[in-house]
Chain A
Amino acid sequence: MRAQMGATLQDLMDTDPRLAIVLADISHGYFERAAAAYPERVIKVGIMEQTAVSLAAGLAIEGFIPVVHSITPFIVERPFEQIKVDFCYQRLGGNIISTGASYDYGTDGMTHYGMGDVPILRTLPGMEVVVPGTAGEFDALFREAYADGAPTYFRVAEQQNLADRAVRFGRLEVVRRGSAAVVVAVGPMLDRVLEAVADLDVSVVYCTTVAPFDGETLRAAMPAAPAATRAVVVVEPYYEGTLVPEIVAALGPDPVRIEAIGVPRRVLSRYGTIDQHDADLGLSVAGIRARIETFLAKG
Protein backbone atom coordinates (compact mmCIF):
# COMPACT_ATOMS: atom_id res chain seq x y z
CA MET A 1 0.00 0.00 0.00
CA ARG A 2 2.92 2.33 0.75
CA ALA A 3 4.45 1.70 -2.66
CA GLN A 4 1.04 2.39 -4.18
CA MET A 5 0.97 5.70 -2.33
CA GLY A 6 4.22 6.66 -4.05
CA ALA A 7 2.98 5.54 -7.46
CA THR A 8 -0.39 7.27 -7.13
CA LEU A 9 1.10 10.54 -5.98
CA GLN A 10 3.83 10.57 -8.60
CA ASP A 11 1.21 9.95 -11.27
CA LEU A 12 -1.01 12.75 -10.02
CA MET A 13 1.94 15.14 -9.78
CA ASP A 14 2.22 14.85 -13.57
CA THR A 15 -1.37 15.86 -14.15
CA ASP A 16 -2.32 18.18 -11.30
CA PRO A 17 -0.03 21.22 -10.91
CA ARG A 18 -1.77 22.05 -7.61
CA LEU A 19 -0.43 18.95 -5.88
CA ALA A 20 2.54 19.38 -3.51
CA ILE A 21 4.23 16.78 -1.31
CA VAL A 22 5.75 17.58 2.09
CA LEU A 23 7.98 14.86 3.55
CA ALA A 24 9.35 14.68 7.07
CA ASP A 25 12.48 12.62 6.36
CA ILE A 26 10.72 9.49 5.21
CA SER A 27 9.76 7.66 2.02
CA HIS A 28 12.10 9.76 -0.14
CA GLY A 29 12.67 6.74 -2.35
CA TYR A 30 9.03 6.62 -3.37
CA PHE A 31 9.13 10.16 -4.68
CA GLU A 32 12.51 10.42 -6.43
CA ARG A 33 11.02 10.97 -9.86
CA ALA A 34 8.56 13.59 -8.68
CA ALA A 35 11.26 15.34 -6.66
CA ALA A 36 13.49 15.53 -9.73
CA ALA A 37 10.70 16.69 -12.03
CA TYR A 38 8.97 19.09 -9.65
CA PRO A 39 11.52 20.26 -7.06
CA GLU A 40 9.36 23.20 -6.03
CA ARG A 41 6.43 20.90 -5.25
CA VAL A 42 8.27 18.15 -3.38
CA ILE A 43 9.51 19.63 -0.12
CA LYS A 44 11.69 17.62 2.22
CA VAL A 45 11.61 19.52 5.49
CA GLY A 46 13.57 17.19 7.74
CA ILE A 47 12.44 15.79 11.06
CA MET A 48 10.02 18.53 12.04
CA GLU A 49 6.47 17.29 11.77
CA GLN A 50 4.77 20.31 13.36
CA THR A 51 6.43 22.58 10.84
CA ALA A 52 5.62 20.13 8.04
CA VAL A 53 1.90 20.37 8.75
CA SER A 54 1.87 24.15 9.20
CA LEU A 55 3.98 24.66 6.09
CA ALA A 56 1.53 22.48 4.15
CA ALA A 57 -1.30 24.69 5.37
CA GLY A 58 0.59 27.70 4.03
CA LEU A 59 0.77 25.98 0.65
CA ALA A 60 -2.97 25.30 0.84
CA ILE A 61 -3.77 28.97 1.52
CA GLU A 62 -2.08 29.79 -1.76
CA GLY A 63 -4.14 27.28 -3.72
CA PHE A 64 -1.96 24.19 -3.65
CA ILE A 65 -3.22 20.77 -2.52
CA PRO A 66 -0.62 19.57 -0.05
CA VAL A 67 0.09 16.01 0.99
CA VAL A 68 2.02 15.57 4.23
CA HIS A 69 3.51 12.18 4.95
CA SER A 70 5.30 10.48 7.81
CA ILE A 71 4.97 7.67 10.35
CA THR A 72 1.62 7.60 12.11
CA PRO A 73 2.41 8.88 15.62
CA PHE A 74 4.75 11.55 14.28
CA ILE A 75 2.36 12.97 11.67
CA VAL A 76 -0.87 12.64 13.65
CA GLU A 77 -0.25 12.73 17.38
CA ARG A 78 2.76 15.07 17.57
CA PRO A 79 1.32 17.77 15.26
CA PHE A 80 -2.30 17.22 16.26
CA GLU A 81 -2.78 20.88 17.14
CA GLN A 82 -1.31 21.93 13.79
CA ILE A 83 -3.86 19.71 12.02
CA LYS A 84 -6.61 21.18 14.17
CA VAL A 85 -5.67 24.86 13.93
CA ASP A 86 -3.86 25.15 10.60
CA PHE A 87 -6.19 22.96 8.55
CA CYS A 88 -9.51 22.43 10.32
CA TYR A 89 -10.01 25.84 11.95
CA GLN A 90 -8.68 27.65 8.87
CA ARG A 91 -10.99 25.49 6.74
CA LEU A 92 -8.23 24.46 4.35
CA GLY A 93 -8.05 21.40 2.17
CA GLY A 94 -5.10 19.05 2.24
CA ASN A 95 -4.07 15.48 2.84
CA ILE A 96 -2.17 13.60 5.51
CA ILE A 97 -0.92 10.13 4.65
CA SER A 98 0.52 8.05 7.44
CA THR A 99 2.50 4.87 7.24
CA GLY A 100 2.84 2.37 10.04
CA ALA A 101 -0.73 1.62 11.07
CA SER A 102 -1.27 0.50 14.66
CA TYR A 103 1.64 -1.93 15.31
CA ASP A 104 2.92 -2.34 11.76
CA TYR A 105 6.31 -1.49 13.27
CA GLY A 106 5.66 -4.25 15.76
CA THR A 107 9.25 -4.77 16.83
CA ASP A 108 9.99 -1.07 17.39
CA GLY A 109 7.99 -0.48 20.53
CA MET A 110 5.08 1.74 21.43
CA THR A 111 6.77 4.98 20.37
CA HIS A 112 6.23 3.79 16.81
CA TYR A 113 2.72 2.40 17.23
CA GLY A 114 -0.31 4.34 16.09
CA MET A 115 -3.60 2.98 17.33
CA GLY A 116 -4.89 6.37 18.40
CA ASP A 117 -4.77 8.14 15.03
CA VAL A 118 -8.34 7.60 13.88
CA PRO A 119 -9.92 8.19 17.31
CA ILE A 120 -8.27 11.58 17.83
CA LEU A 121 -8.79 12.74 14.27
CA ARG A 122 -12.50 11.94 14.67
CA THR A 123 -12.68 14.77 17.20
CA LEU A 124 -11.86 17.40 14.59
CA PRO A 125 -14.72 19.16 12.80
CA GLY A 126 -14.47 18.81 9.04
CA MET A 127 -11.75 16.15 9.14
CA GLU A 128 -12.18 13.25 6.73
CA VAL A 129 -10.70 9.86 7.60
CA VAL A 130 -10.05 7.13 5.06
CA VAL A 131 -8.92 3.57 5.89
CA PRO A 132 -8.27 1.67 2.66
CA GLY A 133 -8.23 -2.12 2.75
CA THR A 134 -5.90 -2.64 -0.21
CA ALA A 135 -3.38 -0.76 -2.30
CA GLY A 136 -5.84 -0.54 -5.14
CA GLU A 137 -8.44 0.92 -2.81
CA PHE A 138 -5.94 3.52 -1.62
CA ASP A 139 -5.44 4.56 -5.22
CA ALA A 140 -9.16 4.83 -5.93
CA LEU A 141 -10.06 6.61 -2.70
CA PHE A 142 -7.16 9.04 -2.88
CA ARG A 143 -7.97 10.04 -6.44
CA GLU A 144 -11.60 10.56 -5.45
CA ALA A 145 -11.02 12.62 -2.31
CA TYR A 146 -7.62 14.33 -2.39
CA ALA A 147 -8.87 17.54 -4.02
CA ASP A 148 -12.25 17.82 -2.31
CA GLY A 149 -11.32 20.92 -0.32
CA ALA A 150 -11.34 19.23 3.10
CA PRO A 151 -8.49 18.00 5.29
CA THR A 152 -8.34 14.26 4.65
CA TYR A 153 -6.38 11.56 6.45
CA PHE A 154 -5.37 8.36 4.66
CA ARG A 155 -4.26 5.44 6.82
CA VAL A 156 -1.69 3.34 4.95
CA ALA A 157 -1.28 -0.12 6.46
CA GLU A 158 0.91 -3.15 5.96
CA GLN A 159 -2.00 -5.56 6.28
CA GLN A 160 -4.30 -5.78 3.29
CA ASN A 161 -7.30 -7.72 2.09
CA LEU A 162 -6.61 -10.04 -0.84
CA ALA A 163 -8.92 -8.43 -3.39
CA ASP A 164 -9.78 -4.84 -4.25
CA ARG A 165 -13.41 -3.88 -3.91
CA ALA A 166 -15.25 -1.16 -5.82
CA VAL A 167 -15.06 1.28 -2.96
CA ARG A 168 -16.41 4.81 -3.04
CA PHE A 169 -15.39 7.66 -0.74
CA GLY A 170 -17.95 8.23 1.99
CA ARG A 171 -19.92 5.05 1.22
CA LEU A 172 -20.35 1.78 3.04
CA GLU A 173 -20.72 -1.38 0.97
CA VAL A 174 -22.96 -4.29 1.91
CA VAL A 175 -20.78 -7.35 1.21
CA ARG A 176 -23.18 -10.08 2.35
CA ARG A 177 -26.54 -10.28 4.05
CA GLY A 178 -27.73 -12.17 7.13
CA SER A 179 -30.30 -11.74 9.87
CA ALA A 180 -28.66 -12.09 13.29
CA ALA A 181 -26.48 -8.97 13.24
CA VAL A 182 -24.66 -6.51 11.02
CA VAL A 183 -20.87 -6.69 11.22
CA VAL A 184 -19.07 -3.52 10.14
CA ALA A 185 -15.52 -4.35 8.99
CA VAL A 186 -13.15 -1.40 8.62
CA GLY A 187 -10.38 -1.45 6.00
CA PRO A 188 -7.91 -4.32 6.34
CA MET A 189 -10.16 -6.16 8.81
CA LEU A 190 -12.57 -7.26 6.06
CA ASP A 191 -10.92 -10.54 5.05
CA ARG A 192 -10.54 -11.61 8.66
CA VAL A 193 -14.15 -10.76 9.41
CA LEU A 194 -15.44 -12.65 6.39
CA GLU A 195 -13.45 -15.72 7.44
CA ALA A 196 -14.55 -15.42 11.04
CA VAL A 197 -18.27 -15.22 10.21
CA ALA A 198 -18.27 -17.57 7.21
CA ASP A 199 -20.90 -19.87 8.67
CA LEU A 200 -22.78 -17.29 10.74
CA ASP A 201 -26.10 -15.71 9.72
CA VAL A 202 -24.86 -12.10 9.75
CA SER A 203 -24.58 -9.23 7.32
CA VAL A 204 -21.14 -7.81 6.62
CA VAL A 205 -20.75 -4.16 5.73
CA TYR A 206 -17.40 -2.83 4.51
CA CYS A 207 -16.21 0.60 5.64
CA THR A 208 -13.26 2.44 4.10
CA THR A 209 -14.37 5.98 4.96
CA VAL A 210 -14.66 6.41 8.71
CA ALA A 211 -15.48 10.11 8.47
CA PRO A 212 -17.88 11.12 7.11
CA PHE A 213 -19.63 7.92 8.16
CA ASP A 214 -22.32 6.53 5.88
CA GLY A 215 -25.07 6.04 8.42
CA GLU A 216 -27.72 5.83 5.74
CA THR A 217 -26.35 2.62 4.24
CA LEU A 218 -25.94 1.12 7.70
CA ARG A 219 -29.58 1.90 8.54
CA ALA A 220 -30.72 0.32 5.32
CA ALA A 221 -28.59 -2.76 5.96
CA MET A 222 -30.21 -3.50 9.32
CA PRO A 223 -32.38 -6.63 9.15
CA ALA A 224 -36.12 -6.23 9.62
CA ALA A 225 -35.99 -7.39 13.22
CA PRO A 226 -37.72 -6.02 16.31
CA ALA A 227 -35.87 -2.94 17.49
CA ALA A 228 -34.96 -4.55 20.80
CA THR A 229 -33.05 -7.36 19.07
CA ARG A 230 -30.97 -5.21 16.71
CA ALA A 231 -27.29 -6.00 16.93
CA VAL A 232 -24.16 -4.51 15.39
CA VAL A 233 -20.57 -5.66 15.62
CA VAL A 234 -17.88 -3.21 14.54
CA VAL A 235 -14.37 -4.51 13.86
CA GLU A 236 -11.74 -1.78 13.61
CA PRO A 237 -7.94 -1.94 13.12
CA TYR A 238 -7.25 0.88 15.62
CA TYR A 239 -8.54 1.51 19.15
CA GLU A 240 -11.78 -0.35 19.69
CA GLY A 241 -15.07 1.48 19.82
CA THR A 242 -14.08 4.47 17.72
CA LEU A 243 -17.08 4.15 15.42
CA VAL A 244 -19.61 3.44 18.16
CA PRO A 245 -20.87 7.06 18.37
CA GLU A 246 -21.48 7.13 14.61
CA ILE A 247 -23.32 3.79 14.76
CA VAL A 248 -25.48 4.98 17.65
CA ALA A 249 -26.21 8.22 15.83
CA ALA A 250 -27.12 6.34 12.65
CA LEU A 251 -29.43 3.83 14.32
CA GLY A 252 -30.91 5.86 17.17
CA PRO A 253 -33.09 6.52 18.94
CA ASP A 254 -34.11 2.84 19.05
CA PRO A 255 -31.89 0.59 21.16
CA VAL A 256 -29.15 -1.42 19.50
CA ARG A 257 -26.72 -3.91 20.98
CA ILE A 258 -23.15 -3.14 19.93
CA GLU A 259 -19.96 -5.17 20.23
CA ALA A 260 -16.83 -3.12 19.54
CA ILE A 261 -13.80 -5.13 18.48
CA GLY A 262 -10.47 -3.43 17.90
CA VAL A 263 -7.17 -2.74 19.58
CA PRO A 264 -7.70 -2.64 23.36
CA ARG A 265 -6.56 0.54 25.12
CA ARG A 266 -3.54 -0.76 26.96
CA VAL A 267 0.18 -0.11 26.92
CA LEU A 268 1.85 -2.59 24.58
CA SER A 269 5.27 -3.67 25.74
CA ARG A 270 5.99 -6.76 23.65
CA TYR A 271 8.01 -6.87 20.42
CA GLY A 272 6.83 -9.05 17.58
CA THR A 273 5.22 -9.48 14.21
CA ILE A 274 1.87 -7.95 13.34
CA ASP A 275 0.34 -11.42 13.56
CA GLN A 276 1.76 -11.94 17.04
CA HIS A 277 0.28 -8.65 18.23
CA ASP A 278 -3.05 -9.48 16.59
CA ALA A 279 -3.18 -12.85 18.34
CA ASP A 280 -2.26 -11.32 21.69
CA LEU A 281 -4.95 -8.64 21.34
CA GLY A 282 -7.75 -10.89 20.14
CA LEU A 283 -7.66 -9.67 16.56
CA SER A 284 -6.81 -12.95 14.82
CA VAL A 285 -9.58 -14.69 12.90
CA ALA A 286 -10.11 -16.99 15.88
CA GLY A 287 -10.18 -14.09 18.32
CA ILE A 288 -12.72 -12.15 16.28
CA ARG A 289 -14.82 -15.28 15.81
CA ALA A 290 -14.88 -15.95 19.55
CA ARG A 291 -15.96 -12.38 20.37
CA ILE A 292 -18.77 -12.42 17.82
CA GLU A 293 -20.01 -15.87 18.89
CA THR A 294 -20.14 -14.80 22.53
CA PHE A 295 -21.93 -11.59 21.62
CA LEU A 296 -24.56 -13.33 19.50
CA ALA A 297 -25.12 -15.98 22.18
CA LYS A 298 -25.98 -13.28 24.72
CA GLY A 299 -28.64 -11.83 22.41
Chain B
Amino acid sequence: MAGGWRVSCLSMSSVPKRVEQLMAQASGDEKHDPSAHSTLDILWVLYDRILRYDPRDPRGEDRDRFLMSKGHGPLALFAILADKGFFPAEEMARFETWEGILGGHPDRHRVPGIEISTGSLGHGFPMAVGVALALRAKGSDRRVFVLIGDGEANEGSVWETALLAGSLELPHLTAILVDNASSTRPLGDIGAKFSTFGWAARTANGRDHEALYAALSAPDAVRPTIVVAEIRE
Protein backbone atom coordinates (compact mmCIF):
# COMPACT_ATOMS: atom_id res chain seq x y z
CA MET B 1 0.00 0.00 0.00
CA ALA B 2 1.46 3.34 -0.97
CA GLY B 3 0.44 6.88 -0.22
CA GLY B 4 0.66 9.36 2.60
CA TRP B 5 -0.85 9.45 6.06
CA ARG B 6 -4.58 9.88 6.17
CA VAL B 7 -4.78 13.35 7.62
CA SER B 8 -8.48 12.96 8.23
CA CYS B 9 -7.68 10.47 10.95
CA LEU B 10 -5.95 13.18 12.89
CA SER B 11 -8.84 15.54 13.09
CA MET B 12 -9.44 14.59 16.73
CA SER B 13 -5.82 15.02 17.71
CA SER B 14 -4.19 18.14 19.11
CA VAL B 15 -0.67 16.99 18.42
CA PRO B 16 1.36 19.67 16.60
CA LYS B 17 0.90 19.72 12.84
CA ARG B 18 4.61 19.22 12.29
CA VAL B 19 4.32 15.73 13.80
CA GLU B 20 1.47 14.94 11.44
CA GLN B 21 3.63 16.18 8.60
CA LEU B 22 6.45 13.90 9.67
CA MET B 23 4.08 10.94 9.67
CA ALA B 24 2.80 11.96 6.26
CA GLN B 25 6.26 11.55 4.78
CA ALA B 26 6.16 7.80 5.30
CA SER B 27 4.73 5.20 3.00
CA GLY B 28 4.84 1.43 3.05
CA ASP B 29 2.91 -1.71 3.77
CA GLU B 30 3.38 -1.88 7.52
CA LYS B 31 2.23 1.53 8.61
CA HIS B 32 -0.60 -0.06 10.61
CA ASP B 33 -2.44 3.24 10.19
CA PRO B 34 -5.14 2.73 12.85
CA SER B 35 -2.56 1.36 15.24
CA ALA B 36 -0.19 4.28 14.76
CA HIS B 37 -3.03 6.74 14.97
CA SER B 38 -4.36 5.31 18.22
CA THR B 39 -1.11 5.94 20.07
CA LEU B 40 -0.32 9.41 18.75
CA ASP B 41 -1.69 11.59 21.55
CA ILE B 42 -0.49 9.25 24.29
CA LEU B 43 3.03 9.26 22.91
CA TRP B 44 2.99 12.99 22.47
CA VAL B 45 1.99 13.61 26.06
CA LEU B 46 4.67 11.20 27.24
CA TYR B 47 7.50 12.68 25.19
CA ASP B 48 6.41 16.29 25.47
CA ARG B 49 5.50 16.49 29.12
CA ILE B 50 6.41 13.43 31.18
CA LEU B 51 9.44 11.41 30.12
CA ARG B 52 12.93 12.49 31.09
CA TYR B 53 15.39 11.90 28.25
CA ASP B 54 18.26 13.40 26.30
CA PRO B 55 18.09 12.74 22.55
CA ARG B 56 21.85 13.31 22.35
CA ASP B 57 22.35 10.44 24.81
CA PRO B 58 19.46 8.05 24.14
CA ARG B 59 20.81 5.32 26.44
CA GLY B 60 21.79 7.66 29.26
CA GLU B 61 21.34 6.00 32.63
CA ASP B 62 19.31 8.91 34.00
CA ARG B 63 16.53 8.58 31.42
CA ASP B 64 13.01 7.32 31.92
CA ARG B 65 12.34 4.20 29.87
CA PHE B 66 9.56 3.89 27.34
CA LEU B 67 8.98 0.44 25.86
CA MET B 68 6.63 0.04 22.90
CA SER B 69 5.48 -3.47 23.68
CA LYS B 70 3.11 -3.95 20.78
CA GLY B 71 5.60 -2.72 18.19
CA HIS B 72 2.81 -2.39 15.65
CA GLY B 73 2.16 0.98 14.11
CA PRO B 74 5.40 2.66 15.15
CA LEU B 75 4.97 5.65 12.82
CA ALA B 76 3.63 7.93 15.52
CA LEU B 77 6.53 6.99 17.78
CA PHE B 78 9.04 7.47 14.97
CA ALA B 79 7.59 10.87 14.10
CA ILE B 80 7.73 12.05 17.71
CA LEU B 81 11.29 10.74 18.17
CA ALA B 82 12.29 12.60 15.01
CA ASP B 83 10.51 15.73 16.20
CA LYS B 84 12.32 15.54 19.54
CA GLY B 85 15.70 15.17 17.84
CA PHE B 86 16.59 11.51 18.29
CA PHE B 87 17.34 11.15 14.57
CA PRO B 88 17.05 13.31 11.44
CA ALA B 89 13.54 13.97 10.20
CA GLU B 90 14.65 12.85 6.74
CA GLU B 91 14.49 9.26 7.96
CA MET B 92 10.68 9.41 7.88
CA ALA B 93 10.72 9.45 4.08
CA ARG B 94 12.92 6.34 4.11
CA PHE B 95 10.40 4.35 6.18
CA GLU B 96 10.49 0.68 5.15
CA THR B 97 13.27 1.16 2.64
CA TRP B 98 16.67 -0.54 2.39
CA GLU B 99 18.43 2.75 2.96
CA GLY B 100 16.47 3.72 6.06
CA ILE B 101 16.59 2.83 9.75
CA LEU B 102 12.82 2.78 10.28
CA GLY B 103 11.02 -0.50 9.64
CA GLY B 104 7.50 -1.76 10.05
CA HIS B 105 8.41 -2.72 13.59
CA PRO B 106 11.11 -0.93 15.57
CA ASP B 107 14.68 -2.19 15.91
CA ARG B 108 16.54 -0.96 18.97
CA HIS B 109 19.87 -1.41 17.22
CA ARG B 110 18.86 0.86 14.34
CA VAL B 111 16.70 3.58 15.86
CA PRO B 112 18.01 5.97 18.55
CA GLY B 113 15.45 6.19 21.34
CA ILE B 114 13.99 2.73 20.80
CA GLU B 115 14.53 0.66 23.95
CA ILE B 116 13.48 -2.79 22.66
CA SER B 117 12.89 -4.43 19.31
CA THR B 118 9.27 -5.47 19.16
CA GLY B 119 6.56 -6.56 16.76
CA SER B 120 5.77 -10.02 18.07
CA LEU B 121 3.01 -9.32 20.55
CA GLY B 122 3.27 -9.97 24.26
CA HIS B 123 7.03 -9.59 24.66
CA GLY B 124 7.64 -5.99 25.69
CA PHE B 125 5.35 -5.95 28.71
CA PRO B 126 7.26 -8.63 30.64
CA MET B 127 10.54 -7.12 29.45
CA ALA B 128 9.42 -3.84 31.01
CA VAL B 129 8.94 -5.60 34.33
CA GLY B 130 12.52 -6.85 34.04
CA VAL B 131 13.67 -3.31 33.34
CA ALA B 132 11.70 -2.01 36.34
CA LEU B 133 13.19 -4.68 38.60
CA ALA B 134 16.65 -3.85 37.29
CA LEU B 135 16.22 -0.15 38.01
CA ARG B 136 15.04 -0.92 41.51
CA ALA B 137 18.05 -3.18 42.08
CA LYS B 138 20.32 -0.38 40.84
CA GLY B 139 18.71 2.12 43.18
CA SER B 140 17.44 4.24 40.30
CA ASP B 141 14.41 6.46 40.72
CA ARG B 142 13.63 6.52 36.99
CA ARG B 143 10.21 5.50 35.72
CA VAL B 144 9.35 2.76 33.22
CA PHE B 145 6.45 3.16 30.81
CA VAL B 146 5.24 0.34 28.59
CA LEU B 147 2.55 0.59 25.92
CA ILE B 148 0.31 -2.39 25.19
CA GLY B 149 -2.39 -2.72 22.58
CA ASP B 150 -5.81 -4.10 23.38
CA GLY B 151 -5.34 -6.66 20.62
CA GLU B 152 -2.00 -7.53 22.18
CA ALA B 153 -3.85 -8.18 25.42
CA ASN B 154 -5.19 -11.37 23.84
CA GLU B 155 -1.74 -12.85 24.44
CA GLY B 156 -1.32 -15.04 27.50
CA SER B 157 2.00 -13.47 28.43
CA VAL B 158 0.24 -10.13 29.00
CA TRP B 159 -1.85 -11.71 31.72
CA GLU B 160 1.09 -13.62 33.18
CA THR B 161 2.81 -10.27 33.52
CA ALA B 162 -0.23 -8.50 34.91
CA LEU B 163 -0.44 -11.17 37.60
CA LEU B 164 3.27 -11.02 38.37
CA ALA B 165 3.85 -7.26 38.38
CA GLY B 166 0.78 -6.60 40.50
CA SER B 167 2.47 -8.39 43.37
CA LEU B 168 5.95 -6.90 43.03
CA GLU B 169 5.45 -3.39 44.40
CA LEU B 170 6.77 -1.53 41.37
CA PRO B 171 5.39 1.99 41.72
CA HIS B 172 7.78 3.24 39.05
CA LEU B 173 6.17 0.98 36.43
CA THR B 174 3.27 2.35 34.40
CA ALA B 175 1.56 0.33 31.69
CA ILE B 176 -0.60 2.08 29.13
CA LEU B 177 -3.16 -0.12 27.47
CA VAL B 178 -4.49 1.52 24.32
CA ASP B 179 -8.05 0.38 23.89
CA ASN B 180 -9.17 1.23 20.38
CA ALA B 181 -11.61 -1.68 20.24
CA SER B 182 -9.28 -3.72 18.07
CA SER B 183 -9.49 -6.86 20.17
CA THR B 184 -11.43 -9.65 18.48
CA ARG B 185 -12.58 -10.79 21.91
CA PRO B 186 -14.14 -8.16 24.17
CA LEU B 187 -11.79 -7.47 27.07
CA GLY B 188 -14.44 -6.21 29.47
CA ASP B 189 -13.35 -3.94 32.28
CA ILE B 190 -9.57 -3.99 31.79
CA GLY B 191 -8.84 -1.72 34.74
CA ALA B 192 -10.87 -3.90 37.07
CA LYS B 193 -9.03 -6.98 35.89
CA PHE B 194 -5.64 -5.39 36.59
CA SER B 195 -6.90 -4.08 39.93
CA THR B 196 -7.61 -7.59 41.10
CA PHE B 197 -3.97 -8.40 40.45
CA GLY B 198 -2.78 -5.48 42.57
CA TRP B 199 -2.42 -2.63 40.08
CA ALA B 200 -3.60 0.93 40.50
CA ALA B 201 -5.98 1.37 37.56
CA ARG B 202 -6.99 4.54 35.81
CA THR B 203 -8.93 5.28 32.66
CA ALA B 204 -8.43 8.28 30.39
CA ASN B 205 -9.66 9.49 27.06
CA GLY B 206 -6.80 8.60 24.73
CA ARG B 207 -7.19 11.90 22.89
CA ASP B 208 -7.47 14.17 25.93
CA HIS B 209 -4.00 15.46 26.68
CA GLU B 210 -4.85 16.83 30.11
CA ALA B 211 -6.57 13.64 31.16
CA LEU B 212 -3.62 11.58 29.90
CA TYR B 213 -1.17 13.86 31.68
CA ALA B 214 -3.07 13.56 34.94
CA ALA B 215 -3.22 9.77 34.67
CA LEU B 216 0.43 9.33 33.68
CA SER B 217 2.15 11.92 35.84
CA ALA B 218 1.09 10.82 39.31
CA PRO B 219 2.15 7.24 40.00
CA ASP B 220 0.79 5.24 42.90
CA ALA B 221 3.02 5.17 45.97
CA VAL B 222 3.30 1.40 46.10
CA ARG B 223 1.62 -0.31 43.18
CA PRO B 224 2.32 -0.31 39.46
CA THR B 225 -0.17 1.71 37.48
CA ILE B 226 -2.26 0.72 34.48
CA VAL B 227 -3.72 3.54 32.41
CA VAL B 228 -6.42 2.37 30.05
CA ALA B 229 -6.39 4.91 27.23
CA GLU B 230 -9.68 4.73 25.39
CA ILE B 231 -9.90 5.63 21.72
CA ARG B 232 -13.49 5.84 20.53
CA GLU B 233 -13.86 7.40 17.09
Query: A: which residues have CB within 8 A of B?
Result: 20, 40-41, 43, 45-46, 48, 50-51, 54-64, 66, 81-82, 85-86, 89-91
* Residue interface mask B118-135, A partner, CB < 8 A = 1: 001011111111111111
User: Which listed residue (A48, A63, A89) contacts B164, Cβ 8 A?
Assistant: A48
CB of B156, distance to nearest CB on chain A (Å): 7
B135 touches A62 (CB 8 A): yes
Q: Assign chain B's interface to a size class.
A: 20 to 34
Which residues of B are found within 8 Å of A66, using beta-carbon distances? Answer: 130
**Other A-B pairs, 20, CB within 8 Å; known A81-B120, A82-B157, A85-B120:** A20-B134, A46-B163, A48-B161, A51-B129, A51-B157, A51-B161, A54-B125, A54-B130, A54-B157, A55-B127, A55-B130, A58-B128, A58-B132, A61-B116, A62-B130, A62-B135, A62-B138, A63-B138, A85-B123, A86-B123
Please name all residues of chain A whose beta carbon is closer than 8 Å to the beta carbon of B157 when the two chains form the complex: 48, 50-51, 54, 82
Once A50-B126, A57-B127, A58-B127 are accepted as A-B contacts, the answer to whether A64 and B134 lie under 8 Å apart by CB is yes
Contacts of A62 in B (CB 8 A): 130-131, 134-135, 138
24 contacts between A and B (CB under 8 A): A43-B133, A48-B157, A50-B156, A51-B160, A51-B161, A54-B125, A55-B127, A55-B129, A55-B130, A56-B130, A58-B126, A58-B130, A58-B132, A59-B130, A59-B133, A61-B131, A63-B134, A64-B137, A82-B123, A82-B157, A85-B123, A86-B123, A86-B127, A90-B108
A40 close to B131 (CB less than 8 A):
no
Nearest B residue to A55, CB-CB:
B130
Cα–Cα distance between A20 and B136 once the two chains are bound (Å): 13
Residues of chain B within 8 A of A82, CB atoms compared = 123, 157
- CB atoms of B137 and A54 under 8 A apart: no
Closest A residue to B157 by beta carbon equals: A50
Is B117 at the interface (CB under 8 A from chain A)? yes
Chain B residues near A46 (CB, 8 Å)? 163-164
**A50, A62, A66, A91 — which one has the most chain B CB atoms within 10 A of its CB?**
A62
